[in-house]
Structure 1
Amino acid sequence: MNSTNPNNWKGLPLAEVDTPSLLLDADALQANIDRMAAFFVNRPSGLRPHFKSHKCTKIVRLQMQAGAVGITCAKLGEAEVLADAGIREILIANQIVGHVKIARLIQLAKRAAPIVAVDSEENARMLSAAASAANVEIRALVEVDIGLNRCGVKSGAPALALTRLIASLPGIKFEGLQGYEGHLVDLPDEAERAEKTRAALKPLVETRRLIESSGIPVNIVTGGSTGTYTFTGDFPGVDEVQAGSYAAMDWYYFDIRPEFRQAMSILTTVISRPAPDIAIVDVGRKGVGAEFGPPRVKDLPGASIARFGSEEHASISLPKDCNMSVGDHLELIPSHGCTTSNLYREFIVHRHGVVEDVWPIEGSGQMR
């Protein structure tokens, strides 16, 4: 291989791909998308996958084709990328605050149908004033804190009060509620995760009933994750699940949800063999999302990460009698797929060890 342009790698074996590169197993990806979509067949809730996990509009199209009701994202910049790709039904699961961002949201509303989260009177009035002046309508969800202690108003009366305000304002339409059980999604014991997730969702759905009894329709109640989709997706009164990591997977979620396959990995090259049981590869903290721990070595039983503190290197402990040589490739599985995909500009999509395509990660770096 004599090209550094990934688009010229199509048809090459992975052994000829430059490194580090972010790989995506096409068969595993499709199996994951199909499995999650199948769960929601004949259920009252729908799947609104989270874009922040993979940030790739090619994957979004596969998710929409499989029956997703829309797409969730974390940032306004991600929503703009989705709109550029022709996606209209976009939930920005965050507060859009400040005149610069609200002006961008108004422009987005002219070519898509965004929904935003709101948890304060000040933000609701900002959105109302800007939308009214531009003669557009912004759909809004009241975010309810169900135990994460991040954004969100309290359930019950405080949520009802904010709902009534939004319903009274021009330019902004109350669409429903958002509540995210993010503090529970990685509990290792499934029974405990199920019990605590259902307990967290109870006040969210009770708030829905309170709002509906006041005469205000609630069209959407949304939340959930890959770790809790089987509980959130079956909970009466919840309409949408925002699972995201299931598509590409990382090892942290795989330990919790082994029914999904690990489609994402990082291809690396062994650049040094300083000891018989050690290999140094050409990726470090700059190239692997490792918030939940160092990466794991793929398809090499007995190998593990010996040291992962450098920016550009990782030290691999090899099994006895391993004949790994300088120049050989190793794949690593990150602990956090969301932050890993944010570090790369493309997925090298492969099938049976051969590069099939190169997909842009258009949402990479979209922090605003």
Structure 2
Amino acid sequence: MNKPMPGQALDDLETPVLLLDLDRFESNVQHMAAYCRDNGKEWRPHSKAHKSPAIAHIELANGACGITCAKLSEAEWMVAHGVPSILLANQIVSPVKFAALARLQHRAEVIAAVDNIAVVEPMAAAAIDEGVRIPVVVEIDIGMKRVGVEPGPPLLALSKAISDQPGLAFKGLMGYEGHVLDCWPLQAKKKACYQALDILVESRNLLENNGLQIEIVSAGGTGSYELSALHDGVTELQAGGGVFMDVMYRRKCHVEALTPALTVLTSVTSRAADRVVVDAGFKTLSSSHQPPEVLGRDDLRLRGLSAEHGVFNIVEGQAGPALGEQIELLVGYSDSTTFLHNYFVAVRKGRVEKIWDISARGLLR
């Protein structure tokens, strides 16, 4: 079956299809870039939600200082497509990956995140073998209890070890306040967020007092960026998923300034008196973290997703959609939905304008 074509009307699209509303997407990109800029922060958006060089270049054109990647293979792909600066916000530990990271430095700045002193010497050796210096930030556990070195003496020892290696260039710190995203009410979230970010600032002060220079203090996901951008100690934000603004960020994280832009267009393929079935199940859109929501109508309630079916109950007293009628679903969580698709169908005013390949999908190493 052929890809959608520019100029094609939405009513003529074969479903299911992943849609990106360009007016809303562009507004979100501009808002996030301006919010970071107006608060004195660089914007380095995460690419794990879109996995698309085309979208990365739109973010760069709107003022992003670079992008953030979750995996080395994803960073390799982005470098191959002209992205000049990348933060690799995940740890690597194998000699093969150290060598690949070193080779990338000939073509772009790819900053490694380190949280264990055991990787310092082999990473530096790979850099020396390649005749480059690998830029490095130290990731600190600021409360999420996932990855990161402990603050204080362990951080200082690791940072000194990095700065002492001729093959490495110590750049600074990063941390992720992911444990505060769904805190509420606002004052409780603000308190928890700033307690976490204060650890980064205290860590920066510790290192500077011991003679180390700090260029980067990186933090901030979409679920907390509105608060993190206001914290004086942070230099850059990694918030990326907000360009799509899915249901999870609105419902769980209480992000209000951005507009939902990512949807899945489906069709009703079966119906009964009390329910309809659409042609999109969990192989098309994920209910992980947050279920999808029906856009523009209030007569359907999600019963559940199976592999290729989405089952919706018809609200009592409502007629419900007809067989073959298109239903547009707001994506529950973009990170766990976009990688299921080969491309975004970018639309404006009811017509297809662009097709953007999700070409970094499957790059997991």
Verify same fold: TM over 0.5: yes
1:323 Cα deviation after fit? 5.1
- Residues 156-204 of structure 1 show CA distances to partners (whole Å, capped at 9, x for unaligned) of 2211110000000121111000110111112242221111000111121
Tell me the residue number matched to 2:362: 365
- Do the aligned residues in 2 keep the contact of 1:9 with 1:17 (CA within 8 Å)? no
Letter in 2 for 1:260: L
Tell me the residue number matched to 1:116: 112
Tell me the residue number matched to 1:325: 322
- Residues 270-323 of structure 1 show CA distances to partners (whole Å, capped at 9, x for unaligned) of 1101x2231101111111122113211111123220222x11101012343435
- Do the aligned residues in 2 keep the contact of 1:147 with 1:183 (CA within 8 Å)? yes
* Inter-partner Cα distance in structure 1 for 2:314 and 2:27: 31
1:326 Cα deviation after fit? 1.7
Tell me the residue number matched to 1:23: 19
Q: Does 1:235 find its partner at 2:231?
A: yes
- Do the aligned residues in 1 keep the contact of 2:299 with 2:320 (CA within 8 Å)? no
Count of matched residue pairs: 362
Tell me the residue number matched to 1:155: 151
Tell me the residue number matched to 2:72: 76
* Inter-partner Cα distance in structure 2 for 1:89 and 1:43: 21
Tell me the residue number matched to 2:90: 94
Tell me the residue number matched to 1:258: 256
- Do the aligned residues in 2 keep the contact of 1:343 with 1:365 (CA within 8 Å)? no
1:45 Cα deviation after fit? 1.6
- Give matches, 1:122-161, under 5 Å: 122-161=118-157
1:360 Cα deviation after fit? 0.6
1:209 Cα deviation after fit? 0.7
Q: Does 1:67 find its partner at 2:73?
A: no
- Residues 74-115 of structure 1 show CA distances to partners (whole Å, capped at 9, x for unaligned) of 111111121122111100101122022222212222211100
- Do the aligned residues in 1 keep the contact of 2:266 with 2:327 (CA within 8 Å)? yes
* Inter-partner Cα distance in structure 1 for 2:38 and 2:243: 21
- Do the aligned residues in 2 keep the contact of 1:178 with 1:221 (CA within 8 Å)? yes
Letter in 2 for 1:48: R
Paired residue for 1:221, among 213, 217, 221? 217
Q: What TM-score comes out, normalization by structure 1 length?
A: 0.95
1:44 Cα deviation after fit? 2.4
Tell me the residue number matched to 2:176: 180
- Residues 197-225 of structure 1 show CA distances to partners (whole Å, capped at 9, x for unaligned) of 00111121111011011111000000111
- Stretch moving more, 43-52 or 314-323: 314-323
Letter in 1 for 2:13: V
Paired residue for 2:343, among 337, 346, 364? 346
1:124 Cα deviation after fit? 1.3
- Do the aligned residues in 1 keep the contact of 2:300 with 2:312 (CA within 8 Å)? yes
Q: 5+ residue gaps in structure 1?
A: none
Letter in 2 for 1:265: T
Q: What secondary structure is seen at the aligned counterpart in 2 of 1:53?
A: coil
What value does the CA root-mean-square deviation take over the aligned residues? Answer: 1.3
Q: 5+ residue gaps in structure 2?
A: none
User: Runs in 1 of length 4+ with deviation above 4 angstroms?
Assistant: none
- Do the aligned residues in 2 keep the contact of 1:178 with 1:223 (CA within 8 Å)? yes
Q: What secondary structure is seen at the aligned counterpart in 2 of 1:117?
A: strand
1:142 Cα deviation after fit? 0.6
Letter in 2 for 1:30: E
Q: What TM-score comes out, normalization by structure 2 length?
A: 0.96
* Inter-partner Cα distance in structure 2 for 1:277 and 1:366: 42
